[in-house]
Structures are given as structure tokens and as C-alpha cells.
Amino acid sequence: MIGHASPWPSAGSQATQQASLCEVLLWIASDTFHWLHNGHHRYPPAPGEESFTDMNIRHLRQLLGSRVKVFQFNKDQERQNGADWEMWIHNRSHGVGLRIQAKKASKHGRFPFDHKVRKQNAYQCDLLVQHALAVRCVPVYLLYNHWDWQGGDEAEAARAKRLCDHVTPDGSHHGCTLLSAYSVQSEVGRKAHGYSLRHKALWGESLPWNRVLCDRRSTTGSSPSRSGADVLTDIFTTVKGLTLMGLARASTHSSELTPSRGTWGDAEHVQSLHENGADDALAVLRDGPHRLPPHVLQLLEAHEAEPPPPPVPTVATVLVDVSDERARTLPQQFEGCVRYR
């Protein structure tokens, strides 16, 4: 199945039917899966994480039309924090925010999870958590995957448990998966105590992003269709489950931070996480979906070309509206993208 092209979401029926976020994420995952495989084997070198992220955000903008707003910021600011971009699934008053750091699988399935940000003398995973909590987001890693290093059967992977049945038969829906940053913190801390970094174990905890962020109004055999409020609640519940899995794996993440070259980085940052990290992480997960924070409400009213500065440096912020009103709005026509097969 590797190298086969997938059809555009809702291809041939855009005049009457719009693609769901789930469908678009599924297509992006499949496209990423094949693109990364080809980059490692047929047309090396493989593109970098930034290239994948830029293209995938572009696909979200094009395929979701007026339901999505995308704000691009100064990419040099990424060096100041642990996040690539921010994504909010919302209904214009409440929402679920993800602070996202992308990681690309190497040819042999390894990820640079233990990357250190020299300027802050801290691990990237620690900074990702810190800045996510500052803007009331859930910190996650977005993994760009391919199957070669697994040595497993794609059909078996496609039959794995999932939130929804909207998958591809070849397993390429695992091209983009989400992993709790708390799981990464735990594994990097474990490495600091002399153990090997278990890339395969972390990959196994990740979930296909269309499974986590499924907004389909109904699934096969289900009735009645979900409302926008139900969609948002279900997404919040799934994100919460993924995060609690990471917190359970690293129950002491707030008091045993991952070290940077034998030091603890910025003292103020460490002290704030030590005192408030666990409570803040649980607060983001409690009684949601939550009201949108002020910086997101500002972006909803802003023009994409002139966004207000983000409270924490961010490369891009993507806002996806899943409210009932937007669900009935047909997408705008999009220009074709170069598809790497």
C-alpha cells in the first residue's frame, strides 16, 4: 500500500458536502505517512519537521475553508519555547487547546525526544509543558510516522482500537499521532538515570490524531447525529484521557523535572512547576470544555494578516470551529497542493 495516493477529502462532492475535521486529519496523516516513507527510501532526504508542519497547516486551511483561521507568527520565536504551534478546537465560546511540538520519525523510527534548548538550558519537553500551562493548553507531541521501522503488519495496525471507524485500510492513518508531553518527560527523566530512551514505547502510547480530534456528526450505525456541543465534549474527553495516561506514567513530573546537563535550568521556571505544575495540569483537564482564554477570543475577531502578539511565543495558531452553525457552512474552494508520492 505504501506509495498509493489517497483521494482528497469529499472529492467530487464538494458542492454538496464538506469534509469533516476528522476526514481532513485522516487524509493529512495518510499523505504524511507516504511522504515520509518516500523521503527516507525513494526520494531522500526526508523533509524536516518544519516542512511537514507548514504543509499540514496549509492543508487544514484549504480543506476546512471558513471553519478555520490560521495565524502565522515569527518562526524565530520557536527557539524561545518548546512548541511548534497551537491548535484550538472551539465553538466560539468554549474549546480545547493543544500546544504542539512536532517530531519526525527517522528512517529507523527514532525521535529526538531528548532535545535540549541551549538558551534556556532545559529540555524541550519541559518548556513545552511550561508554556502550554501558561495559555491553558494541553501539551502534546505530534509524531510524523512511517511503518518501516515497526516491522509489523499494516493491516493489523489498521484494526487497532480507535475512537472512530474513519480509517484507511493500509494503516497510514498512523502517519500523524498525538502523544502526551508528560509521557515524554517521564521517558527523558528515565534516561537521565542511565536508561535507554524507549522510542517504540512512546510511539505505542500515541494515538492517530483523527481519533483524538474526531468531529464527525455521526458514525456508521449511530443515531442521532452528534451536536457541535457533543463533538467538543467528546474531543475534550479524549484529549483528557490521553493526558491522564501521560500523567499516570509520570506521576512525579512536577517535582522531579528532567535535568539539563546536570542542572535544573531556570530557577524561577523550576520553582513554579514544582509548586503548581501538577495542579495546573489537572485544572486544564477539569470540568471542560473551558471558556476560551482572552488571547483566543482576540484571535477570533482578528484578521489573519494582522494578529495580536501571542502571550507566549508561537510559530502558528490554528482555530477550528466545530459549532453547529459552521458545520452547515460549505467550504471555500481551495487551490491544489503539490502532493509528494
Handedness of CA 181, 132, 323, 102 (dihedral sign): negative
Q: What is the pLDDT of residues 37-66, one digit of tens each?
A: 889 888 889 988 989 999 999 999 999 999
What does the radius of gyration of the chain's CA atoms come to, in whole angstroms? 19
With 0-12 CB in 10 A as exposed, 13-18 as middle and 19+ as buried, what is 297? middle
Q: Give the pLDDT confidence score for residue 328 in this predicted structure.
A: 57
CA triple 12-211-131, angle to 5 deg: 115
| Distance in angstroms (rounded) separating the CA atoms of residues 83 and 69 | 19
Has this prediction a pTM greater than 0.85?
no
Q: Give the pLDDT confidence score for residue 177 in this predicted structure.
A: 94
Secondary structure of the chain in the HEC alphabet? Answer: CCCCCCCCCCCCCCCCCCCCHHHHHHHHHHHHHHHHHHHHHCCCCCCCHHHHHHHHHHHHHHHHHHHEEEEECCHHHHHHCCCCEEEEEECCCEEEEEEEEEEECCCCCCCCCCCEECCCCEEHHHHHHHHHHHCCCEEEEEEECCCCCCCCCHHHHHCCCCCCCCCCCCCHHHHEEEEEHHHHHHHHHHHHCCCCCCHHHHHHHCEEHHHHCCCCCCCCCCCCCCCHHHHHHHHHHHHHHHHHHHHHHCCCCCCCCCCECCECCCHHHHHHHHHHHHHHHHHHHCCCCEECCHHHHHHHHCCCCCCCCCCCCCCEEEEEECCHHHHCCCCCCCCCCCCCC
| Distance in angstroms (rounded) separating the CA atoms of residues 311 and 322 | 24
Which residue from 157, 182, 185, 183 is spatially nearest to 172, judged by alpha carbons?
157
Q: Give the pLDDT confidence score for residue 159 in this predicted structure.
A: 54
Q: Give the pLDDT confidence score for residue 172 in this predicted structure.
A: 84
341 residues of the chain, pLDDT tens digit each: 444 456 667 644 443 457 899 999 999 999 999 899 889 888 889 988 989 999 999 999 999 999 999 998 865 554 555 577 999 999 999 999 999 999 999 988 889 999 888 777 889 999 999 999 999 999 999 999 986 544 444 555 555 444 466 777 677 888 999 999 999 999 998 887 788 888 888 988 899 999 999 998 765 545 567 899 999 999 999 999 999 999 988 654 343 445 433 333 333 433 444 445 667 888 899 988 999 999 999 999 999 999 999 998 889 999 999 998 766 554 444 333 333 33
> What is the residue whose three cell numbers read 492543508?
59
CB atoms inside a 10 Å sphere around CB 138: 26
- The HSE-up count of residue 34 (CA atoms within 13 Å, CB side) is 16
Q: What is the pLDDT of residues 258-277, one digit of tens each?
A: 543 333 333 343 344 444 56
